Structure 1
Amino acid sequence: MSADQTIRDVLKRYDVPYEGNVWQVQSARVIKHAALEQVAASAGIRFDLPTILRNERDEAVMLVAGTLGDVREWSIGEALVNVNYRVSGKQAAYVYAMAEKRAKDRVILKLVQLHGLAYSEDEADDFKQGGQDKAQATARPPAMSVDHMLHEIAECPDEAALAALKADHTFRLGYKEADELSQQRIKQALAKAAEECAA
């Protein structure tokens, strides 16, 4: 089944229309944040209170966990002004709200089995529907954060999943953009996961 059809089926299951809520930027399929909130409400996803991991004037990083039935997922949301969250003119920066949106949207996508098939519009400024035409030539899926990469490595159930993760564009981009110490942490986590899969 194609990614588009899977997205259509999942949205239909939760009474959220595909048209007007999903678009494509290059090869990335993007879903509106409001549509993901509708999916969460319709599905009965419950969120824990977020855990603040970093709180600065221009940066927020938080961990959000959610539950759908017996399934529990968590993710990291991050926003750093002028790095992965652009603010223009006199617009106020709401880093906590953006970090929360990103984390919740990632958890929703995981819980409804769309993680890796689609991104939330809040993952990158170029994903915004209003900037879609301009973004067509320049947008790319966002790089995974280091914390997100380490979580995904730890969650790999077997060698095939580990290989697929290493081949993922957002994973490779996140590794490339990480500092040297973070790259070492990622290499160590990959080596440990490979050993555990082989055992």
Structure 2
Amino acid sequence: MKREKLLALYKKYELAEDDVFKHQHYVIITRQGIDKIQAIEKIHITYQVIKCEPKFAVFQAFATKENASVETFGSALKGDNYKDGNCNSWYVAEMAEKRAMSRAVLKLTGFYELGVFGEDESDSFKK
């Protein structure tokens, strides 16, 4: 059942083989795939900065499409290793924004409930 729902969503959003990959226990959609989904659904996203410091940022995303909306968050903590943080980039604000955007798009389109994540949600989700 889950597999059939995922295949239907892949087809609906014209996701190609390089837009999706399996990572250990999760299905991951690449940044390119998230952008395709957002464009097809005409999802509009605005952000509110909750916290923005040199090594830590939290963004709240407000996303809408037609008559549906969602609010979600994305955060990034720069660490010397993954025990101390969840990203290796000094661009913590940008990472927080991308994570909030990915979550918002995936939640609005039904992917999140099927256990699909965006590659930006964790540095460990990269190919």
* Cα distance in structure 1, aligned partners of 2:124 and 2:94: 18
Say if 1:32 and 1:120, in contact at 8 Å, map to a contact too: yes
- Structure 2 residue 122 is the aligned partner of structure 1 residue 109: no
* Cα distance in structure 1, aligned partners of 2:30 and 2:7: 14
Q: Which is richer in strand?
A: 2
Could you say which residue in structure 1 is the equivalent of 2:27? Answer: 29
1:113 Cα deviation (Å)?
A: 0.6
Could you say which residue in structure 2 is the equivalent of 1:10? Answer: 9
Secondary structure, in 3 states, of the residue corresponding to 1:86? coil
Say if 1:77 and 1:99, in contact at 8 Å, map to a contact too: yes
Residue deviations 1:112-165, cap 9 Å, x none?
Answer: 011142011111222101xxxxxxxxxxxxxxxxxxxxxxxxxxxxxxxxxxxx
Structure 1 counterpart of 2:11, one-letter code: K
* Cα distance in structure 2, aligned partners of 1:59 and 1:119: 21
Q: Which is richer in helix?
A: 1
* Cα distance in structure 2, aligned partners of 1:6 and 1:75: 23
Could you say which residue in structure 1 is the equivalent of 2:63? Answer: 66
Secondary structure, in 3 states, of the residue corresponding to 1:16? coil
* Cα distance in structure 2, aligned partners of 1:29 and 1:9: 15
Q: What number of residue pairs does the alignment pair up?
A: 121
List structure 1 segments (4+ residues) > 4 angstroms apart after TM superposition: none
Structure 2 matches for 1:1-199, cutoff 5 A?
A: 1-2=1-2, 4-17=3-16, 19-48=17-46, 50-82=47-79, 83-87=85-89, 93-116=90-113, 117-129=115-127
* Cα distance in structure 2, aligned partners of 1:13 and 1:27: 24
Structure 1 counterpart of 2:118, one-letter code: S
1:5 Cα deviation (Å)?
A: 3.2
Residue deviations 1:81-108, cap 9 Å, x none?
Answer: 0101124xxxxx1111110110010000
Say if 1:11 and 1:39, in contact at 8 Å, map to a contact too: no
1:23 Cα deviation (Å)?
A: 1.4
What are the ranges of 5 or more consecutive residues in structure 1 without an aligned counterpart? 88-92, 130-199
Which protein has greater RCO, CA pairs closer than 8 Å, 6+ apart?
2
Give the fraction of aligned pairs with identical amino acids, expressed as a percent: 29
Secondary structure, in 3 states, of the residue corresponding to 1:77? strand
Secondary structure, in 3 states, of the residue corresponding to 1:76? strand
